[in-house]
Structure 1
Amino acid sequence: MTTTYSRRNFLKTVSAGGVLLVTPSGLQSMSKDNALQRVSITQREETLTADIVIIGGGLGGVAAALSSLRNGKRVILTEETDWLGGQLTQQGVPPDEHRWIEHTGSTKTYRELRNHIREYYRSNYPLKESARNNPYLNPGNASVSRLCHEPKVALTIILEILAPYISSGKLTVLYQYKAIKSSVNKDTVEDITVKSSVTADIKILKAPYFVDATELGDLLPLTGTEFITGSESRKDTGELHAPEEANPNNIQAFTICFAIDYLPEENHVIEKPSDYTFWRDFTPQLKQPWPGKLLAMHYSNPRTLEKKALCVDPTNKGCGDIFNLWSYRRIVDKNNFEDGFYSGDISLINWPQNDYFLGNLIGASDRDFNKFVEEGKQLSLSLLYWLQTEAPHPDGGKGWPGLRLRKDILGTDDGLAKYPYVREARRIKSLFTVTEEHVGCDNRALVATENKDKAAFFHDSIGIGYYPIDLHPTTAMDNYIDMDALRFQIPLGALLPVRMKNLIPANKNIGTTHITNGCYRLHPVEWNIGEAVGELLSFSLDNNYSPHQIRKEKNVLNDFQLRIRSRGIETEWPSDEELEKM
């Protein structure tokens, strides 16, 4: 291990444009250029080893770490931001789930996570008795999910769950580190180098197995792992809703989320965003027409693409039968809490109006990545300013100046999420690819010879999930694709690269297509994938089988599936009759 002085040891002064450098022998004065050169020379470099290295601290990465740790493995987990939890926390997205989630359709540990969140509210918040006694407490009473809550509460629970393993030294978490290079020997990753965005320190991470749980599938190009981006052609996949021509740059919109509350007697109008005029006047030029301006009280119905009216009313009184966006992703319903504890509801803004689709983050240079994120932030701030000043009221008024940007909710100076909400990543070229004919209602009805009303059965299932196939507008100017899906399984073959032996995906980078990513990308499925990956790699280490061998050898696969089922990972959905009783 090499240890030297890092950037934190360099103190800038105003003395003749130079700097003072802290060294073991005292302060040394030098020019700024020489100091910067010295900084690059004196970055700290360290080699760390573990049984499993996980790059990316989202839900998949956290679940992979937790299941690995519970199997006695030593884990290194890296995260680009200073919050673990991915879409549930740093991206500010309350869980997108299905109607059976309280009882089935996820792993046991995912439901335990949800229950811990509820118990945290019961233990620490002044809930009304009706809310406290509700076994299915939903702090925000939002329409999108049966459990909408503050991101920081989920973060707190994740940290509590991991705390014993950090204390014992079994888990090392590296915050604000990003993978920058790798060493690969043919089809085996030997190490991953990560760099701190704060100190520029370098850590070389070594392990028998590596997990790509990044939001964009960053390890795939870094390690030379074969991957796909964008939309495949109908000829390639046979999918009913695939386009005629493939387009690697056809990527779903990302969103910069933010949280607001409403204080009707106060004025919290923000400074006019620099790009406000552009976004106020912006009309999406999509291949399938968008009905007017983006900042408006209407959008394209995701199913029919016809114009659909929307409403925003933070008083929850005036929308009538029109869908009220305010309560859609509300994370605090003040009526759940003692009178006066909250001045108003708190709502998380992840709406059609702040989907950003004018730039593709996948493969972007650092300059372009930052540019697109900044433009996405400008869109979200412009939406807020428009809501405060111009948004029409149900009663004919205009603007809600009492809407207040809650910077504390997402822990940032600008009040915006720490990281973009990413819906689509690079996807591995896998031993098996899930296509629309496996899980899509319409496509399956055309091709299945039996059980047309059920998703395809996967003999190598390592989990289950459900969500409609939900694709947002894309960088190639496609409008929504939204359709019914069937309750599905997660096949192990979709987690195994065609060539690489010790790199496994654990986020939105598994072997789906552009279409089926739309139902495999949500919170409980990502957690299931990550948890199964931790179990898979632990089983490999314990029994000296490679992940590919586990799938290939029937008896070994059966043993592995028995093991994960015993630990609360469901591999098949209950029958329709059993679901009806839930």
Structure 2
Amino acid sequence: MLSADIAIIGGGLGGVAGALAALRRGHRVVLSEEFPWLGGQLTSQAVPPDEHIWVEQFGVTASYRALREGIRRYYRDFYPLTDAARRESRLNPGLGRVSRLCHEPTVAAAVITQLLAPHRSSGRLTVLQPYVPVDAVVVADRVESVTLRHTGTGEELVVEAAMVLDATETGDLLPLTGTEYVVGAESRAQTGEPSAPQVADPTNVQSIAWCFVFDHVEGDHTIDRPDDYEHWLEQAPPFWGGPMLSFTAPNPRTLEPEERTLQVNPPIDGHVDGDPRFDAGDQDLWEFRRIVARENFQPGSYESDIVLANWPQLDYLGGSVIDTPDRAFHLTQAKAQARAYFYWLQTEAPRPDGGYGWPGLRLRGDVAGSDDGFAQAPYIRESRRIAAVTTVVEQDVSVEVRGDAGPALFPDSVGVGMYRIDLHPSTGGDNYIDVECAPFEIPLGALVPVRTRNLIPAAKNIGTTHITNGAYRLHPVEWNVGESAGELASFCLEQSLTPRDVVSDPELVHRFQTRLVEAGVEIHWPEILGY
């Protein structure tokens, strides 16, 4: 048995941020994670950060900014950058169009290891890998302990803690602790949201995707033809405009099918700096999430750019992985779909020169931290969500509903974020749902369960809806949620309070907000024009 002040179950971005917040307050922390790398969507899921356009100036926490600058510093310290790239204060190693900081998951994993290293050395942080939660003891609405199981050996370990953070990718502690939660799509009658369906469906969640990393070099690197390749060739959702194994996919904002492209190692003409408000940057597979751009490195350092594939054709629509006995099957199928798509790219994809397939495409397991080139873990977009004191709904953040009213405000704000409501095609058969958002705040009430007294959500499991989760699920917001959850757990321990005590008392809310601001958490957007 292990004992700690705070147990954090799940080592994604929220879990790491929560641990750092609690550790800087001097608490003892146990942090568990299922996969080899800490960092979740940024590392084991391999997805470079989806961020708003003001990220370099404001709108993220100081510790998230330190993570970003740590990634840039790692490249400057250890990579053969060109002199021009080394001088670039806003270095974007991959020059991908999705982000101002497209980078390898290996580098993010290394920087997270650096951030946690002194705390592990001091003994105040214990990291358990690879472990998943399988049971919990709850007495009088308090989580007394969580049982973890080693995914390799099956060994079980009990962790006791005064405060518990659920930072798992799908809110796995919620059913284990009997914490009330919602999963899937709520109905319009339940939430009043314009984009909600008429009928609630707990099995209707955003698709997952199994991403992979690849480059292109001379030679034939074609993988074995998947046994189920014909099955995936036949998949053609009615709204897709063609087969999944193609360059055709719906435009998220117009829903009209459109053709996308793959340019292999294209020349980079000028500075890549797309504005996601007007250009999602997702028309070309190579440029969208390129994580190494040869242009940034000394001549001869790289034979090819390196690309992370997180692409519409990888979105798995076959079923939910939450609250289902078929979870393992759906995970296997999601990866099989991705493998089939890569084989299609190598063998059948139409090339600009009139030919078919790029056999020189090569999976890069060394970059993904895996044996096969695919990410260690599936990219999870939607989680179980606590039944919270405050639930953020579409009306709170939608520009169409709110008009030009400036940022979406909450009096108990514990952070900020900005992203469109971006719901990918779902397991219930929905096409994209895309809603323009105002810059928004994260209400403290969304981190407080209606009943469980010492459990705090620290990832995508806060009090949002199926709809608003689409805006609150991205990298900097998850980090902010985790950091504020770690600070809340620490505040409650030091003051002998529960999260419900804090959110119910305006004076305590004010004291807690002051603490966050002093720690570098922005709780309001700047008062400027032109959002």
Shorter chain as denominator, the TM-score bin is over 0.9
The whole-number CA distance in structure 1 between the counterparts of 2:350 and 2:368 is: 27
1:143 has 2:103 as partner: no
Partner residue in 2 for 1:216: 170
Partner residue in 2 for 1:19: none
The whole-number CA distance in structure 2 between the counterparts of 1:318 and 1:206 is: 53
The whole-number CA distance in structure 1 between the counterparts of 2:444 and 2:33 is: 25
1:362-414 Cα distance to aligned partner (Å, 9 max, x none): 0123xx22211111111111111111111111232211111001111112122
User: Runs of 5+ in structure 2 lacking a partner?
Assistant: 270-280
Taking the TM superposition and a 5 Å limit, the aligned residue runs for 1:124-523 are 124-263=78-217, 265-285=218-238, 289-316=239-266, 323-365=283-325, 368-445=326-403, 452-523=404-475
Residue 193 of structure 1: CA displacement? Answer: 0.6
The whole-number CA distance in structure 2 between the counterparts of 1:323 and 1:514 is: 26
Give the structure, 1 or 2, with the largest relative contact order (CA under 8 Å, sep 6 or more). Answer: 2
* Cα contact 1:64–1:531 (8 A) shared by 2: yes
Residue 550 of structure 1: CA displacement? Answer: 1.3
Residue 318 of structure 1: CA displacement? Answer: 12
| SS of residue paired to 2:430 | coil
1:332-387 Cα distance to aligned partner (Å, 9 max, x none): 0011100110000000011001111102100123xx22211111111111111111
The whole-number CA distance in structure 2 between the counterparts of 1:371 and 1:316 is: 38
Partner residue in 1 for 2:275: none
* Cα contact 2:364–2:372 (8 A) shared by 1: no
* Cα contact 2:97–2:282 (8 A) shared by 1: no
Residue 557 of structure 1: CA displacement? Answer: 1.2
**Structure (1 or 2) with the larger CA radius of gyration:** 1
* Cα contact 1:232–1:245 (8 A) shared by 2: yes
Residue 490 of structure 1: CA displacement? Answer: 0.2
Relative to structure 1, the CA distance from residue 474 to residue 322 in structure 2 (aligned partners, 3 Å threshold; closer, same or farther) is: closer
* Cα contact 2:423–2:434 (8 A) shared by 1: yes
Partner residue in 2 for 1:21: none
The whole-number CA distance in structure 2 between the counterparts of 1:277 and 1:144 is: 32
TM-score by length of 2: 0.96
* Cα contact 2:408–2:438 (8 A) shared by 1: no
1:195-252 Cα distance to aligned partner (Å, 9 max, x none): 1112222111111110100001000000000000111111111101111111111011
| SS of residue paired to 1:232 | coil
Partner residue in 2 for 1:106: 60
* Cα contact 1:318–1:394 (8 A) shared by 2: no
1:502-544 Cα distance to aligned partner (Å, 9 max, x none): 0110111000000000000000000000000111111111122
Residue 455 of structure 1: CA displacement? Answer: 3.9
| Equivalent AA in structure 1 for residue 335 of structure 2 | K
| Equivalent AA in structure 2 for residue 139 of structure 1 | P
TM-score by length of 1: 0.88
Partner residue in 2 for 1:16: none
Decide which moves more: 477-486 or 537-546. Answer: 537-546
| SS of residue paired to 1:115 | helix
| SS of residue paired to 2:416 | strand
| Equivalent AA in structure 2 for residue 519 of structure 1 | A
The whole-number CA distance in structure 1 between the counterparts of 2:431 and 2:513 is: 39
Residue 576 of structure 1: CA displacement? Answer: 2.0
Partner residue in 2 for 1:536: 488
* Cα contact 2:408–2:439 (8 A) shared by 1: no
| SS of residue paired to 2:434 | strand
The whole-number CA distance in structure 2 between the counterparts of 1:416 and 1:318 is: 26
Residue 116 of structure 1: CA displacement? Answer: 0.5
| Equivalent AA in structure 2 for residue 220 of structure 1 | L
Residue 317 of structure 1: CA displacement? Answer: 5.8
User: Runs of 5+ in structure 1 lacking a partner?
Assistant: 1-46, 446-451
| Equivalent AA in structure 1 for residue 258 of structure 2 | K
| Equivalent AA in structure 2 for residue 372 of structure 1 | H
Taking the TM superposition and a 5 Å limit, the aligned residue runs for 1:27-38 are none
Residue 322 of structure 1: CA displacement? Answer: 9.5
The whole-number CA distance in structure 1 between the counterparts of 2:268 and 2:385 is: 44
Residue 553 of structure 1: CA displacement? Answer: 1.3
| SS of residue paired to 1:103 | coil
* Cα contact 1:438–1:455 (8 A) shared by 2: no
1:35-85 Cα distance to aligned partner (Å, 9 max, x none): xxxxxxxxxxxx110000000000000000000000000000000112100
* Cα contact 1:318–1:395 (8 A) shared by 2: no
* Cα contact 2:94–2:292 (8 A) shared by 1: yes
Partner residue in 1 for 2:277: none
Aligned length: 520
* Cα contact 2:240–2:248 (8 A) shared by 1: no
Decide which moves more: 199-208 or 175-184. Answer: 199-208
User: Could you list the runs of 4 or more consecutive aligned residues of structure 1 that deviate by over 4 angstroms after TM superposition?
Assistant: none
Partner residue in 2 for 1:5: none
The whole-number CA distance in structure 2 between the counterparts of 1:424 and 1:96 is: 15
| Equivalent AA in structure 1 for residue 150 of structure 2 | S
The whole-number CA distance in structure 1 between the counterparts of 2:406 and 2:321 is: 35
* Cα contact 2:4–2:29 (8 A) shared by 1: yes
| SS of residue paired to 1:385 | helix
Residue 415 of structure 1: CA displacement? Answer: 1.8
The whole-number CA distance in structure 2 between the counterparts of 1:343 and 1:194 is: 43
Q: CA RMSD in A?
A: 1.5
| Equivalent AA in structure 1 for residue 222 of structure 2 | V
Relative to structure 1, the CA distance from residue 174 to residue 538 in structure 2 (aligned partners, 3 Å threshold; closer, same or farther) is: same
